[in-house]
Structure 1
């Protein structure tokens, strides 16, 4: 008879390399403690990688360039957690600016607003993901780009918006249809609404 560990490994392999998973994905195979022990053993053998407490990776291995284990981006980890929690998330602060090309700084601690549970996930090497609770209204955007632009500009601050930033926002927004962005206008502060409207003039 296959052990819990064998069953878990088979299930992980079926998900494919690069997939991120949680102990709760395997509760049908045995008790929480037994599942935890099996994941510990698979980590010790090098079959899987522990990304953070209760978060594991079936790693992609780069054999071409010899880079070894390819780690997922902070964004991939955050999105997997959000899917599990059936929560919505939006990047804020420096990370939102970085994603739009308004900042070259890559933060070690990425902050997302969420309508799910607030928590901090430590990824080691000083890196972390923080989920801060916000009202669902803040996440009611229908367009992800409109949401990202809004939170990035909030981080910049009304008085610090330069011509360069406006140019950058304009070039990003022009890849998206005007009506898709303006559908979310009601959720934007007036000064951000002015910037997004001007981008289409």
Structure 2
């Protein structure tokens, strides 16, 4: 298969993705070998289809009608692209989890995640993405949705969650996801699980 055909396959995958989606070379190695993916992604960067946001990480630029220019990269999507690149399990923590779930409109300067990888920080424009190491044992047995909900509840605090926040959390997940969260969350702190049970009432 020639280079044009490989690039066409990559462009088709990128076209199907939402604006703001982040990619790494490993996202395309099912289509081609690593070196071909590297050359192809470089060509798509020059074409403007992709934008390099960090070493080895690219996004499909979003256009801001308000600013009349490309918007800054989506920190959460970039964080997950980094995690895929290194095969880390990650979970947003603190204010980051609230922002991801729409419980806060305040954009944090530091986007923080627990990670099965090393503690590390990545500068991203005027923001930063921080990974704080946690052992696989601490993250094992829970899906990313369960970990996300637990961190959001912790960030809100005991006795502070409102009916509005419960409704937002309930609507953030499908019925199937809520069922799994209810099952997986049994081993978390008791007060957090009591909140999870309230959220997962269907």
TM-score of the two chains, using structure 2 as the length reference: 0.68
- Alignment-derived partner of residue 15 in structure 1: 10
- Is 1:192 the counterpart of 2:187 in the alignment? no
Question: 5 Å matches for 1:1-201?
Answer: 14-16=9-11, 17=14, 20-21=23-24, 28=35, 49-57=51-59, 59-60=60-61, 67-69=68-70, 71-124=72-125, 126-158=126-158, 161-164=159-162, 166-173=163-170, 175-177=174-176, 179-199=179-199, 200=201
- Between 1:171-180 and 1:93-102, the stretch displaced more is 171-180
Aligned length: 183
Q: Give per-residue Cα distances to partners, 1:65-105, cap 9 Å, x unaligned.
A: 99454554112211111111111111111010122333221
From the superposition, tell whether residues 144 and 47 of structure 1 become closer, same or farther in structure 2 (CA, over 3 Å). closer
Shift of 1:133: 0.7
SS at match of 2:104: coil
CA distance change for structure 1 residues 47 and 194 in 2, over 3 Å: closer, same or farther?
Answer: closer
What is the alpha-carbon distance in structure 1 between the residues aligned to residue 97 and residue 146 of structure 2?
Answer: 12
Which of these two proteins has the greater Rg computed from alpha carbons? 1
Tell me by how many angstroms 1:157 deviates.
Answer: 2.8
**Contact 2:25 2:56 survives alignment (8 Å):** yes
The more displaced of 131-140 and 60-69 is 60-69
8 Å contact from structure 1 (residues 61, 67) kept in 2: no
* Contact 2:116 2:134 (C-alpha < 8 Å) held by counterparts: yes
- Residue 91 of structure 1 contacts residue 112 of structure 1 at CA under 8 Å; is this kept in 2? yes
RMSD value, Cα: 3.9
CA distance in structure 2 between the aligned counterparts of 1:189 and 1:145, rounded to whole angstroms? 17
